[in-house]
Structure 1
Amino acid sequence: MRFSVDRIVVSVLLSLLLLAGSATACEMCNCYLGINPNYNQHMIGVNFRHRVYQGLHVHQASDGHNHVHPGEVTPTIRENFQTTDLNLRLYPLPELQLFVNLPYSYNYIETNGMVTDVIKGFGDAFILGQYQVLNTMPDSDNVRHRVFLGGGVKAPTGVYDKPSDDGEIEAHYQPGTGTWDLLLAGSYLLKWRQWGASSDVTFRTGRKNDLGYHMGDRFNVNTSIFHQFVVKDWTMLPSLGAFFEQAGKDEQDELTVSNTGGWGLLGSAGFDLYYGRTSLHLAGQLPLAQDLVGTQTENKFRLIAGLQFAFR
């Protein structure tokens, strides 16, 4: 496990400066769950995510182990994943919400500061439905609970076999996966006066694509606490949170792919602003701890921005 006290301090300071992110999009479905003053209205919007990973490029020998040759200068690899999502949320029934998402990815890899590969294209679209199983009225202490449970599917609409100038591109650089995946999701909201807490849990599993590649299952948990401020027609929701993600090992032709799988814990910070039916979401994440299999590049930071419009 890689654990850094100075990263925790930086994360907390960043959280205080940014006043925290109240509805961070989950990495597997890119949808906003949890707190939202316009929660019972239809919504359309655009979301932008920028994720950065960094590490050393280590040769992998035929025995499956990683090696650094004597006298060799190991190059630094920086992976940049930029995704722009078109989001749509619909309420066909008062208790049922549907999320539809279409992502476009622009990913690029830097080696010693120079861009060596650019991979771009549409990713895998998904549809996710959640049913409200609990929505309590505020009690004498003004406490309210809301629970949504549901699931959906991710379709193989994205590019998953783009080549590079040097040959094949690793699967996790590709905008899509080439598979139909099952999505399961749940969200919980606790509201007490102007304070609240929200938690979103998502799980994704799929099968191998026609290239024989199988992505490991993904499991995410996003939790945050927030405080609501209202100034005339403006509503502000600062919050502090944590994001946990876990990925199983990938397989190629039913053989385990080295340097895949692991988990990470990130602290999140951001700010949500609502004016009428328009909302703006800003957030940042820094790693607190991570344990990745092999010599994978590590999480450095993540930035999220979203603009949403509610309608009836």
Structure 2
Amino acid sequence: MKNFLMTAGLRRFKRAGYLLFLFCSAWGFALGPIDSVSTFSESFRFNRLLCDACGCSASGGSMGFSTVGENSFLGVRSMYQRYESNDRLYTNSPWRLEQFRTYQIWTRFRISTKLELTAQVPWQHHNRETATGVQTRTGLGDVSINALYKLFSSENEAKTKSHRFHGGLGIKLPTGEFDQANSNTVNPAFQLGTGSFDFTILGEYVFEYQKNGINIMTSYLIKMENERRYRFGNQTNLTAVAYRKVTVSHWQMLPQVGVAAEFFESNYSRGSRVEDTSGQVAFVRAGFDVSRKWINAGFSAMLPVAQDLNNGKVRAHERLSVHLNIIL
């Protein structure tokens, strides 16, 4: 009963997030296109750069923000995620620790004032407890490339209020190794990659009033079948973040708090649905970014507040992320 109520609540959160995103986007479109948004406001625009920790409940899809704005950049990012899994074969079956570490090189390159490309090259290091010891997976993950286009931007005459909306598409390359044996475990996402070409649809809305802002992001990951005829379930990510811009001397700082939710559809093996591979999880998050001249750094932390992953066989815990960027 508890899992049913939790699942129903998360699904309502998903629908509400979509409605809020669509409402805010329509509101911004109604104001009309005006491309005179201030440079200061743009310098704090969030960018959605999807995390790559594979396919199922351990995807980390809601992590990853950068405040280097419209500038091109090159940087590094380190992410940590902790989970527990339980096969539930017996009433006293133990919970096994699973840790996902990702080290990324990421970049953004501006093609024009409206179009930009982003790319991420991850190196994965995962480990988890088993009945016979510790299993480790280390190697290159799936490389991701996204294209984002500014559909509109507008602000009032006093330049105290602005709206922005970006849409985009992405592709994830099967550069990370897929282990067929791990797909039959409690958490089949214990992989370096999905083994397939996957595609992403992105949307981002930003509303700013004076030094305060709200950022709403949504993404839908479409995952294809790999050579082993295994397909991870499609994934929806929703994130809403409130932030405030603070300038101290020549330092630009951005404290931020928000919520995030991830929804996972079932995996399929040789055309048949794999039981206990769908689910959803909601997080609260907090972070802090700081920029000065050509350098940007920041960190974020996420804690789950509601979840139902893999029919209760997987538990998500904290997620941590730090990054350092060189603004080009």
Q: So what's the TM-score if we normalise by structure 1?
A: 0.82
**Higher helix share goes to which structure?**
2
**1:43 counterpart = 2:42:** no
Q: Give the alignment partner of residue 85 of structure 1, picking from 99, 104, 109.
A: 104
Name the amino acid aligned to 2:167: L
Name the amino acid aligned to 1:100: A
Q: Give the alignment partner of residue 161 of structure 1, picking from 179, 182, 191.
A: 179
Q: 1:252 to 1:162 in 2, by over 3 A?
A: closer
Match of 1:95 in 2: 114
Alpha carbons 2:116, 2:149 under 8 Å: kept: yes
Deviation at 1:110, TM superposition (A): 2.2
**1:126 counterpart = 2:144:** yes
Q: Give the alignment partner of residue 294 of structure 1, picking from 311, 318, 321.
A: 311
Alpha carbons 1:219, 1:246 under 8 Å: kept: yes
- Secondary structure class of the residue paired with 1:245: strand
Deviation at 1:240, TM superposition (A): 0.7
Q: 1:141 to 1:170 in 2, by over 3 A?
A: closer
Work out which structure has the larger RCO, using CA pairs closer than 8 Å and 6 or more positions apart in sequence: 1
Instruction: Indicate the percent of aligned positions where both proteins have the same amino acid.
Output: 22
Moved more, 41-50 or 134-143: 134-143
Aligned length: 278
**1:56 counterpart = 2:73:** no
Runs of at least 5 residues in structure 2 that lack an aligned partner in the other structure: 7-45, 53-60
Name the amino acid aligned to 2:278: G
Mapped partners of 1:241, 1:134: distance in 2: 24
Deviation at 1:301, TM superposition (A): 0.9
Q: Give the alignment partner of residue 260 of structure 1, picking from 257, 273, 277.
A: 277
Mapped partners of 2:289, 2:269: distance in 1: 41
Alpha carbons 1:77, 1:297 under 8 Å: kept: no
Match of 1:282 in 2: 299
**Aligned ranges 1:206-225 → 2 under 5 Å:** 206-225=223-242
Runs of at least 5 residues in structure 1 that lack an aligned partner in the other structure: 5-21, 60-67
Mapped partners of 1:41, 1:24: distance in 2: 14
Deviation at 1:206, TM superposition (A): 2.1
Alpha carbons 2:186, 2:313 under 8 Å: kept: no
Alpha carbons 1:162, 1:168 under 8 Å: kept: no
Name the amino acid aligned to 1:125: V
**Higher strand share goes to which structure?**
1
**1:235 counterpart = 2:252:** yes
Per-residue CA distance 1:215-265 (angstroms, 9 max, x = gap): 000110111000111011111100110111001000111111122111110
Match of 1:15 in 2: none
Deviation at 1:212, TM superposition (A): 1.2
What is the CA RMSD across the aligned residues, in angstroms? 2.6
Q: Give the alignment partner of residue 191 of structure 1, picking from 208, 216, 221.
A: 208
Deviation at 1:171, TM superposition (A): 3.7
Match of 1:247 in 2: 264
Deviation at 1:168, TM superposition (A): 8.0
Q: So what's the TM-score if we normalise by structure 2?
A: 0.78
Mapped partners of 1:161, 1:169: distance in 2: 14
- Secondary structure class of the residue paired with 2:266: coil
Deviation at 1:279, TM superposition (A): 0.9
Match of 2:189 in 1: 172
